[in-house]
Amino acid sequence: MSSYLIRGARLLGAEPTDLLLRDGSVQAIGRDVDPVAATVVDAHGLVALPGLVDLHTHLREPGREDAETVRSGTAAAARGGFTAVHAMANTDPVADTAGVVEQVWRLGREAGHSEVRPVGAVTVGLRGERLAELGAMAESAAGVRVFSDDGVCVSDAVLMRRALEYVKALDGVVAQHAQEPRLTEGAQMNEGGLSGVLGLQGWPAVAEESIIARDCLLAAHVGSRLHICHVSTAGSVEIVRWAKSKGWDVTAEVTPHHLLLTDELARTYDPIFKVNPPLRSADDVEALREGLADATIDAVATDHAPHPVEEKDCEWAAAAFGMLGLETALSVVQQAMVDTGLLDWAGVADRMSARPAVIGRVAGHGRPLAVGEPANLVLYDPSATGVVRPSGSASLSRNTPYAGLTLPGRVVATFLHGRPTVLDGALR
């Protein structure tokens, strides 16, 4: 197996040093590393972070290979600095059996761009009627630990209670898409001053917050582990903060877009900005940033949601929900959190690698950059800037909300098990 000597990288933003990667692990760190027979990678000025772990990725395969495949989606992941992604279950067929999760897992191994950890559906067909075979998915080769009906809320309180109880035997976690269905029938955008003006049906914050509050109470009652997908409101942050203060085992994620963009973008009626949960107010963005900074929110998760052109090139109401996120995540987090002084690079590593790996029980990822640890890491140039061009994406889809925007930073290299998946910014 080949060796790489990374010269002059700033580990978590600290003073420059050298890293020797050999046989899939970090073999040496320091200025006196013996470079014998290693390929040298000049990393002066670059920040080294552990490989990023995404808890929330839509790879669309099987079923919507026109939007994304496991191969194209993980290529985008590698370009974004991710070494592990959780593939959401809302495929066609739904990932609600051991067969489907194993297929997705195997496709990820074959593509080799990043580790793919399939998420299993909580209920059969995401229909919210009866539990899927969670145990079979957990015991399959895919080793599923995260279960979610993402895209649909497990709104039935009894079913949610049972799911929370059942996954305790699997060391699993239920990742809830918190959306009270009756309060959001036909909803199009954040309910606030603007929804009334634009005549787009409002999506009240309470629809998210009421489910989060209920599920925190349920998780506490049955002593299980709960993860909240893509929190988007200031109220949600407050509820999660309260639940954590009680010592309950509740974790939460926020998307990059909810850290940067606001509902004002709906004024364009351009459905590139249509997403579930919707973009919220500037006050919500502020609260989400603070929540991520104080670790009330544990993780940044992309909710990378590819859609073919025709599903966005239409009127708002007819368009699909969702936006790309893998390739721009680190840049957006830099802009929203690092450049604002809310997080340092160690904090970024914690929220984008260490904590999501623990939540998803992803072995070998999210580990410290230390001798003997798996060589999963990303080299990132925070001083670069670039204009986001949809055509430059490795994804099969083009629905990035950042098109034309100048964002800081650039992923220079990504290493998965000691092997570069991205080098000089290009896929390997």
Partner 1 sequence: MDQHLLSAGDLTRDDALLLLDTAEEMRSLSDRPIKKLPTLRGRTVVNLFFEDSTRTRISFELAAKRLSADVINFAAKGSSLSKGESLKDTALTLQAMGADAVVVRHHASGAPHRLAHSAWTSGSVVNAGDGTHEHPTQALLDAFTMRRHLGALEGRHVAVVGDVLHSRVARSNALLLSTLGAQVTLVSPPTLLPVGVEAWPVEVSYDLDAVLPKVDAVMMLRVQAERMDAAFFPSAREYSRRYGLDLRRMNLLPDHALVLHPGPMNRGMEITADVADAARSVIVEQVSNGVATRMAVLYLLLSGAAPALAADDPEGPT
Which residues are designated catalytic?
303
Q: How far is the CB of 90 from partner 1 (least distance, A)?
A: 24
Q: Candidates 31-39, 89-97, 185-193, 293-301 — which segment interacts with partner 1 by CB under 8 A? A: 185-193
Cα separation, 359 vs 143, whole angstroms: 14
Q: Which of 141, 317, 363, 426 binds partner 1 (CB under 8 A)?
A: 317
Q: How far is the CB of 315 from partner 1 (least distance, A)?
A: 4
DSSP state string for 264-317: GGGGG--GGG--SSPP--HHHHHHHHHHHHTTSS-EE---B----GGGTSS-GG
Residue 201 engages partner 1 in binding (rule: CB under 8 A): yes
Question: Between 80 and 202, whose beta carbon lies closer to partner 1?
Answer: 202
Residue 321 engages partner 1 in binding (rule: CB under 8 A): no
Question: Between 188 and 395, whose beta carbon lies closer to partner 1?
Answer: 188
Residue 268 engages partner 1 in binding (rule: CB under 8 A): yes
Q: Tell me, by CB under 8 A, how many residues bind partner 1.
A: 24
Residue 390 engages partner 1 in binding (rule: CB under 8 A): no
- Please report, as a single letter, which amino acid is at residue 325: G
Question: Between 258 and 274, whose beta carbon lies closer to partner 1?
Answer: 274
Question: Between 195 and 376, whose beta carbon lies closer to partner 1?
Answer: 195
Q: Three-state SS string across 183-238, please?
A: HHCCCCEECCHHHHHHCCCEECHHHHHHHHHHHHHHHHHHCCCEEECCCCCHHHHH
Q: How far is the CB of 193 from partner 1 (least distance, A)?
A: 3
Question: Between 3 and 201, whose beta carbon lies closer to partner 1?
Answer: 201
Cα separation, 45 vs 22, whole angstroms: 23
> Of residues 347-386, which lie at the interface with partner 1 (CB under 8 A)?
none
Contacts of 57 by beta carbon, 8 Å cutoff, 6+ apart: 73, 77, 85, 86, 87, 88, 302, 303, 304, 326
Q: Which of 199, 247, 341, 404 binds partner 1 (CB under 8 A)?
A: 199
Judged on CB neighbours under 10 Å (0-12, 13-18, 19+), 185 is: exposed
Residue of 360, 324, 366, 325 whose CA lies nearest to 348: 366
Q: Which of 120, 202, 356, 401 binds partner 1 (CB under 8 A)?
A: 202
Contact (CB, 8 A) for 176 and 154? yes
Binding mask 292-311 for partner 1 (x = CB under 8 A): ------------------x-
**Beta pairing partners, 227:** 175, 251
Binding site for partner 1 (CB under 8 A): 188, 191-202, 204, 268-270, 310, 313-318
